Structure 1
Amino acid sequence: MNDTQGIRVSKLLAERGLCSRREADAYIERGLVFVDGQRVTQLGTRAAADAVITLAPEARATQARQATILLHKPIGIVSGQAEDGHQPAVSLISPKTQMAGDHQRFQPSHLKGLAPAGRLDIDSTGLLVLTQDGRVARQLIGDDSKVEKEYLVRVEGSLDERGLALLNHGLELDGKKLRPANVAWANPEQLRFVLTEGRKRQIRRMCELVGLRVTGLKRVRIGRVRLGDLPLGQWRFLREDERF
């Protein structure tokens, strides 16, 4: 297939969830990608949309060593890069803060390239995922991600049926309509939000639009993975039997 036909192999690998685009380019350069049984070594190589694309065993072994970590983020910690003197979430990942009884031993190599797959505001707490694995990052924060995130949100103010209906569907932020949500009262003081997107400060801004003020926000689930009994400020590895 010539250079103007087909789809870039790196894009196909990412779309199929085999790795991220960045990882795909690295694997191609190392000769660890095969298209219809033929080794590919040239960046930018294109292939048919239905081509059989596989990774060499060395690439799969590299992926198996990539860590995904679940952190119970405290308030006052930022998800990504340090800002305004606040600690980044990755600074909490150390042997001292690993949850007791976790199944895997921490290695310094687990910090290399470890980055949050999504964000949790500085004044919010709960489940935050950090990963070295581009497949996990794309699954959670890719443009086409539909993974649910569940939050318990403490609010002040009154909410009538119309306001609750708008929280579920009908609001827009920054001129763009929000995806349908699942919002209901968890108890007299807290709403339970289930979202499939993550706009900046989305829940707080949604609540403001219907006359509510958020006084506490905690993420308790991402996909099928729950915060559970993970202590505040501690972390654990994603288990092999867990899937988002």
Structure 2
Amino acid sequence: MRINKLLSNHGICSRTDANRLIAENRIIVNGKLATPGQWVEEEDIIIIDNEPIPVKDKIYIALNKPVGITCTAEKAVQSNIIDFINYPEYIFPVGRLDKASQGLILMTNDGDLANKILESENEHEKEYIVRVNKPFDDLFIKGMSEGVEICSVITRPCKISRVSSDTFRIILTQGLNKQIRRMSSAFGYKVVRLERIRIMDIKIEGIDNGNWRYLTDKEVIELKNG
């Protein structure tokens, strides 16, 4: 894999930061200065600032993200999720939850697990509670559940049920950019509140808005086996 991905997978730094360290001649691979985009193997000897890359414990966190926080590891972005959680070690968000939305997002330094969760073909469930700007009828529920054309793509069929006259519960197995907002817009509705309440078997219950907790060993095993 490329050195940027390896360092990210090991929880050392982001892929962008890896480029900066390489440009500053601070990374050595098998006795030679690393080059941008270099391919490396797990068994290669990689040294950063004259020290071998450390073996770090894996970190798994469930965060209840507030509205207004951007899910990016780029610290140059204002109100980014890294500054918000202010964790003492390098971790990154698994996927995204747009700035105007709130709810559950996983944070980790385990790149391999993150990639597994994000693989679209694995069809991992993500559950949301969504309120729109006006009441909807049963045709809206039927249309949303059968698939909607957005950005020249037909969304996968999904599970959707009514919560109230203007609120629904939806379970997706894919993660297109602003998918629920665009699906709703295709039927003439605007999302006014969107909360993710579940990722696979991890639920937001018990985590107050803006707070986080470590995943249990059982939860981590279920994610890895999912």
Question: Fold match, TM over 0.5?
Answer: yes
How far has the Cα of 1:166 moved from its partner? 1.4
How far has the Cα of 1:121 moved from its partner? 0.7
How far has the Cα of 1:170 moved from its partner? 2.8
Cα separation, 2, equivalents of 1:116 and 1:93: 11
Cα separation, 2, equivalents of 1:25 and 1:241: 32
Is residue 80 of structure 1 aligned with residue 68 of structure 2?
A: no
Cα separation, 2, equivalents of 1:209 and 1:190: 17
Cα separation, 1, equivalents of 2:101 and 2:8: 31
Aligned-CA RMSD value: 3.1
Distance 1:222 1:20, change over 3 A: farther
Alignment correspondent of 1:157: 134
Cα separation, 1, equivalents of 2:83 and 2:8: 26
| SS of structure 1 residue aligned to 2:42 | helix
How far has the Cα of 1:231 moved from its partner? 1.2
Distance 1:187 1:134, change over 3 A: same
Correspondence list, 1:146-225, <5 A: 146-225=123-202
Cα separation, 2, equivalents of 1:73 and 1:26: 35
- Given that residues 156 and 212 in structure 1 are in contact (C-alpha distance below 8 angstroms), is that contact kept between their aligned partners in structure 2? yes
How far has the Cα of 1:85 moved from its partner? 5.7
TM-score scaled by length of structure 1: 0.67
User: What per-residue deviation string (whole Å, max 9, x for no partner) do you get for residues 77-117 of structure 1?
Assistant: 0011458963111212247xxxxxxxxxxxx3xx22x1111
Distance 1:157 1:84, change over 3 A: farther
| SS of structure 2 residue aligned to 1:183 | strand
Alignment correspondent of 2:97: 120
| SS of structure 2 residue aligned to 1:27 | coil
Distance 1:120 1:25, change over 3 A: same
Instruction: Give ranges in structure 1 of 5+ residues lacking alignment.
Output: 1-9, 11-18, 31-61, 96-107
Cα separation, 2, equivalents of 1:213 and 1:153: 10
109, 120, 127: which is aligned to 1:132? 109
| SS of structure 1 residue aligned to 2:115 | helix
Cα separation, 1, equivalents of 2:93 and 2:8: 17
How far has the Cα of 1:25 moved from its partner? 4.7
Correspondence list, 1:24-173, <5 A: 25-29=40-44, 62=55, 65-81=57-73, 86-94=78-86, 108=88, 111-112=89-90, 114-173=91-150
- Given that residues 65 and 209 in structure 2 are in contact (C-alpha distance below 8 angstroms), is that contact kept between their aligned partners in structure 1? yes
Q: Letter of the 1:73 partner, please give it.
A: K
Q: Letter of the 1:131 partner, please give it.
A: T
Cα separation, 2, equivalents of 1:122 and 1:83: 15
TM-score scaled by length of structure 2: 0.71
